[in-house]
């Protein structure tokens, strides 16, 4: 049985007063089986994503109490192995606004439900490019960057640093393969290519043998400028760092990474958001938390500007040139009107510091520099937004 939780409701001036405009937002998480990994040093928080939605809800309530706008958040949690479509139908009976933490195929299945037509759904967890391209849906917006946006950010960094001799090690899981394919696409886009590529095939415990096995595994990669690791499950990549045959930078899923959000981002008022989040949830804000926060705040900003809770009115405003979201990233965030992707800078960071923020200087675009990352309009095969 799926679990439903009413997380918060709007109270105006400390009393249960009816809001002039009230928005109930759903949060549906459909758990997918997670493959076993070599290490459990990085457990996935139980409230990953949801904590970001709660932080966004509080921000909306803070603004809404002065304007007569009320907000509430309802969580629906679907356990592994359960069909998420029936809980999604039930949730759509009470709200037309849902944040979705689910695999790509579940996102499109929910978006295709008759009950979802005219709703506004937000993808906060799936980076597949196809969701923004051939498998796009008019009612599905994306507050999480695509994998291609992240790999394009790294490719810009490679060009700027003149790292042209690149090799890659890819994991075998679907998420790893999707990231590796996005990286190949990005390298081609910016005039580069891999000089060598290997697949990670070890099934032994690397924790004790990494210093012996990985130098031999990487020896035949030869010399190179940087080693790209495609390990989105963070399974083996941690053992590659500092164990390669050649002493070279490790980038990608480990080492120097392109991420939506990181605790090391402190500029542009980000420290204030980081502080509020950590005080409320006793942990650092992660990329999926930020995507959920951005989705919630997108709705709040649209309600504030339009004074409406009508889905058609809010969607039209969110996709218009008038919409801007202050996202603590140094520039306003907007949505691509042709596929529903939230434009946003991408942090290039390691666990201890922010190194750069893409788009990097010199990477221009005829309309918006943020569109130098990810699927640009001329490349898009998305027809649902036309």
- pLDDT tens, N- to C-terminus, the chain (386 residues): 566 666 655 444 343 445 789 999 999 999 887 776 666 667 889 999 999 999 999 999 999 999 999 999 999 999 998 999 999 999 999 999 999 999 999 999 999 999 999 999 999 999 999 999 999 999 999 999 999 999 999 999 999 999 999 999 999 999 999 999 999 999 999 999 999 999 998 766 666 677 788 999 999 999 999 999 999 999 899 999 999 999 999 999 999 999 999 999 999 999 999 999 999 999 999 999 999 999 999 999 999 999 999 999 999 999 999 999 999 999 999 999 999 999 999 999 999 999 999 999 999 999 999 999 999 999 999 999 97
**249 within 8 A of 240, measured Cβ to Cβ:** no
Q: What are phi and psi of 135, to 5 degrees?
A: -105, 25
**What pLDDT, on a 0 to 100 scale, did the predictor assign at position 14?**
40
Predicted pLDDT of residue 43: 82
Per-residue pLDDT, 15: 39
Distances (CA, A) of 356 to 12, 70, 345, 352: 42, 38, 10, 13
Identify the DSSP state of 43.
P
From the list 81, 79, 133, 131, the residue with the least C-alpha distance to 110 is 131
Residue 283 has a pLDDT of 97
pLDDT of 11 reads: 42
Could you identify the residue written with the tokens 């939230």?
Answer: 342
What is the per-residue pLDDT for 34? Answer: 76
7 is written with which tokens?
């997380």
CA distance 49 to 23: 19
Q: How many whole angstroms separate alpha carbon 295 and alpha carbon 300?
A: 9
C-alpha 189: how far from chain center: 22
Assessment of whether the complete model's pTM goes beyond 0.75: yes
Residue 316 φ then ψ, to 5°: -60, -40
C-alpha neighbours within 13 Å on the C-beta side of residue 168: 22
How far apart are the C-alpha atoms of 298 and 31, rounded to whole Å? 25
Rounded CA gap, 85 and 95, in Å? 15
pLDDT at 211: 76
């Amino acid at each position: 049985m799926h679990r439903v939780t009413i997380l918060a409701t709007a109270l105006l001036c400390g009393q249960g007063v009816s809001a002039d405009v009230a928005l109930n937002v759903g949060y549906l998480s459909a758990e997918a089986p997670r493959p076993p990994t070599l290490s459990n040093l990085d457990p996935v928080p139980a409230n990953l994503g949801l904590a970001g939605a709660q932080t966004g809800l509080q921000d909306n309530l803070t603004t809404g109490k002065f304007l007569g706008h009320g907000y509430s958040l309802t969580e629906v949690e679907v356990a592994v192995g359960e069909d998420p479509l029936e809980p999604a139908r039930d949730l759509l009976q009470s709200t037309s606004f849902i944040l979705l933490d689910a695999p790509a195929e579940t996102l499109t299945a929910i978006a295709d439900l008759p009950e979802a037509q005219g709703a506004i759904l937000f993808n906060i967890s799936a980076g597949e490019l196809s969701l923004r391209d051939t498998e796009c849906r008019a009612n599905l917006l994306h507050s999480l960057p695509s994998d291609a946006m992240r790999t394009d950010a790294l490719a810009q960094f490679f060009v700027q640093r003149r790292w042209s001799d690149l090799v890659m090690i890819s994991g075998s899981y679907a998420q790893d393969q999707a990231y590796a394919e996005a990286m190949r696409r990005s390298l081609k886009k910016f005039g580069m290519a891999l000089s060598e590529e290997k697949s990670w095939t070890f099934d032994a415990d690397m924790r004790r043998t990494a210093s012996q096995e990985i130098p031999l595994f990487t020896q035949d990669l030869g010399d190179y400028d940087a080693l790209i690791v495609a390990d989105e499950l963070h399974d083996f990549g941690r053992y590659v760092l500092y164990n390669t045959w050649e002493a070279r930078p490790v980038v990608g899923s480990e080492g120097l990474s392109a991420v939506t959000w990181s605790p090391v981002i402190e500029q542009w008022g980000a420290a204030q958001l980081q502080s509020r989040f950590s005080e409320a949830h006793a942990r650092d804000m992660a990329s999926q938390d930020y995507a959920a926060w951005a989705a919630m705040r997108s709705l709040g900003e649209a309600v504030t500007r339009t004074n409406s809770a009508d889905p058609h009115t809010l969607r039209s405003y969110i996709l218009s040139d008038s919409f801007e979201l202050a996202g603590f990233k140094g520039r306003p965030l907007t949505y691509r009107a042709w596929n529903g992707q939230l434009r946003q800078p991408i942090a290039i960071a390691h666990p201890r510091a922010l190194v750069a923020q893409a788009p990097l200087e010199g990477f221009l675009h005829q309309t918006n520099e943020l569109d130098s990352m990810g699927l640009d309009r001329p490349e898009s095969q998305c027809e649902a937004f036309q």
